[in-house]
Amino acid sequence: MSTRPFRDIKRKKTKKIKVGNIEVGGDAPISIQSMTNTLTTDIKKTVRQIHELTEAGADIVRVSCPDKDSSLALKKIIKEVRVPIVADIHFHYKRAIEAAMSGAHCLRINPGNIGSKEKIREVLKSAKDYNCSVRIGVNAGSIEKNLLEKYKEPCPEALVESAINNIKILEDENFFNFKVSVKSSDIFLTTKAYRLLSSVCNYPLHLGITEAGGLVTGSVKSSLGIGMLLMEGIGDTIRVSLSADPLEEIKIGYEILKSLNLRHRGVNIIACPSCARQSFPVIDTVKILEKRLSHIKEHITLSIIGCVVNGPGEASQTQIGITGGGKNNHMMYLSGVPHHKVASDKIIEEVVSLVEEKSKELKKN
């Protein structure tokens, strides 16, 4: 369907960098990230999870490097995967150097926690030598002691001051291939910090609500926080942080971007919550269709409405739609136009068939 002007979001034009072969910032699409939760030294399991995340649509995957064995394991892991890998580094500068040498495409560091300027200089030299970008990762849970003493608690101003101080460290070393994040588990703190940071710097921003919680709680908090910022044009790459299967982070990430018309992938199902008017079991139908259509990568809009109150209107706005009718006789819509009728027990197979046909058609074009 055509995009209406009121749905357009004007994104802030930031500096464009590259994380491996993925552009971040500028006019590049907003990328979606996740992080492995396997032991990095278990190369087989880590590679398998990265492949699963890639298949689900991850553009970038982060891998933790808490020790030397992990940072060195990256070399074998990176040879086996197709997406850019970010090495998550905390405190020890040698892990960052080892990760860069192992082929990491980006280093997630907090320069203020790395140590002396000499150590930071060595990390940045390795990043330059191996064409590795950097993410300055500021987190409310690990703000520098001097800033906590100054502000008494984690607050937006403290997060942004930390980010600016770290940005200056990199700029002083003539290093500009980086993006920045200022995360907290608190939505209000996070969104205000990103707004402040966006107003004073032009580097690409990595959005997220850190430690957001389980699947439902974390998805809601992330959607609110990330969604508000994206609607204001702030943000270049996102990670939904969930205490759940990392694959769910990718799914929710795409749902956030699809909801804001910023990026599309797979089938976008519009469905009613169902009520006494429904003439077929909407909830069960949607559950089955979500699973049956999860392999579709092309952007297709599908409406599943249980009665004729809102059904025709929703179907007129989707590529494929079904509206519940009386006496086991439901109307199927194609490109917003009534096309043919289908019985209740045929709905699933009919919809799957039509979506797959549409997918093939889009692939050809």
| Cα distances (Å, whole numbers) of residue 243 to 37, 222, 228, 257, 354 | 10, 12, 22, 21, 36
Q: Check if the beta carbon of residue 354 is closer than 8 Å to that of residue 360.
A: no
Q: What pLDDT shows up at residue 250?
A: 97
Domain count, the chain: 2
Q: Are 250 and 148 found together in one domain?
A: yes
pTM for the structure as a whole: 0.90
150 and 294 in a single domain? The answer is no
Over residues 102-138, the pLDDT tens digits come to 999 999 988 667 777 888 889 999 999 999 999 999 9
Q: For residue 6, is pLDDT > 80?
A: no
| Residues 272 and 347 placed together within one structural domain of the fold | yes
Q: Is 17 within a domain? A: yes
Is residue 209 within 8 Å of 183, Cβ to Cβ?
yes
8 Å CB contact between 25 and 203: yes
Nearest to 63 by CA among 84, 34, 101, 35: 35
Tell me what pLDDT residue 340 has. 95
Residue 198 has pLDDT above 80, yes or no: yes
Rounded average pLDDT over 304-324: 93
Q: Which of 259, 292, 313 is the last residue of a domain?
A: 259
156 and 84, same structural domain?
yes
Domain holding 189, by residue range, is 11-259
Residue 165: pLDDT above 50? yes
* CATH number of the domain where residue 116 is located: 3.20.20.20
Q: Is 10 exposed, middle or buried (0-12, 13-18, 19+ CB in 10 A)?
A: exposed
Residue 155 falls within a domain, yes or no? yes
Q: How confident is the model at residue 4 (pLDDT cuts 50, 70, 90)?
A: low
More confident of the two residues 1 and 320: 320
pLDDT above 90 (res 145) = no
pLDDT, average across residues 168-181: 94
Looking at the fold, whether 43 and 159 belong to one and the same domain comes out as: yes
How confident is the model at residue 7, as a pLDDT?
67
Share of the chain above pLDDT 70, in %: 98
Looking at the structure, tell me whether residues 83 and 127 fall in a common domain.
yes
Domain identity same for 108 and 47:
yes
pLDDT, residue 55, reads: 94
The reply to whether 295 and 357 lie within a common domain is: yes
Residues 283 and 201 grouped into a single domain: no
- Is residue 321, in this structure, part of any structural domain at all? yes
Mean pLDDT in the chain? 93
Beta carbons of 108 and 208 less than 8 angstroms apart: no
Half-sphere exposure of 118 (CA within 13 A, CB side): 0
Looking at per-residue pLDDT, the higher value among 140 and 62 belongs to 62
Give the C-alpha distances (Å, rounded to integers) separating 220 from 8, 214, 224, 256: 23, 10, 6, 10
Average confidence (pLDDT) over 10-15 = 94
Query: How far from the centroid of its chain's Cα atoms is residue 141's Cα?
Result: 22
3-class SS string, the chain: CCCCHHHCCCCCCCCCEEECCEEECCCCCCEEEEECCCCCCCHHHHHHHHHHHHHHCCCEEEEECCCHHHHHHHHHHHHHCCCCEEEECCCCHHHHHHHHHCCCCEEEECHHHHCCHHHHHHHHHHHHHCCCEEEEEEEHHHCCHHHHHHHCCCCHHHHHHHHHHHHHHHHHCCCCCEEEEEECCCHHHHHHHHHHHHHHCCCCEEECCCCCCCHHHHHHHHHHHHHHHHHCCCCCEEECCCCCCHHHHHHHHHHHHHHCCCCCCCEEEEECCCCCCCCCCHHHHHHHHHHHCCCCCCCEEEEEECCCCCHHHHHCCCCEEEECCCCCCEEEEECCEEEEEECHHHHHHHHHHHHHHHHHHHHHC
Domain CATH for 278: 3.30.413.10
Q: What is the pLDDT of residue 3?
A: 45
166 occurs within a structural domain: yes
Q: Determine the pLDDT at residue 338.
A: 95
Q: In this structure, are residues 225 and 211 in contact, taking their beta carbons and an 8 Å threshold? A: no
Residue 92 lies in a domain: yes
Q: Given 259, 279, 309, which residue is the final one in a domain? A: 259
CA dihedral for 267, 272, 277, 281, sign (positive or negative):
positive
Q: Is residue 4 part of a domain?
A: no
CA distances from 350 to 178, 293, 306, 316, 344 (A): 48, 12, 16, 18, 10
More confident site: 274 or 229: 229
Residue ending a domain, among 235, 259, 283, is 259
Question: How much is the average pLDDT of 177-198?
Answer: 97
More confident residue, 127 or 327: 127
Residues 224 and 89 grouped into a single domain: yes
Question: Within a domain: residue 182?
Answer: yes
Tell whether the model's pLDDT for residue 143 goes beyond 80.
yes
CA pair distance 130, 210, nearest whole angstrom: 29
User: Which pLDDT value is given to residue 114?
Assistant: 79
Do 237 and 104 fall within a single domain?
A: yes
pLDDT band of residue 91 (cuts 50, 70, 90) is: confident
Cβ neighbours for 68, distance < 8 A, ≥ 6 positions apart: 94, 95, 98
Query: By the 8 A CB rule, do 311 and 318 touch?
Result: no
Note whether 58 and 182 are same-domain residues. Answer: yes
pLDDT at 1 over 60: no
Q: Which range, 34-48, 160-174, 262-276, has the best average confidence (pLDDT)?
A: 34-48
pLDDT at 326: 77
User: Is 5 part of any domain?
Assistant: no
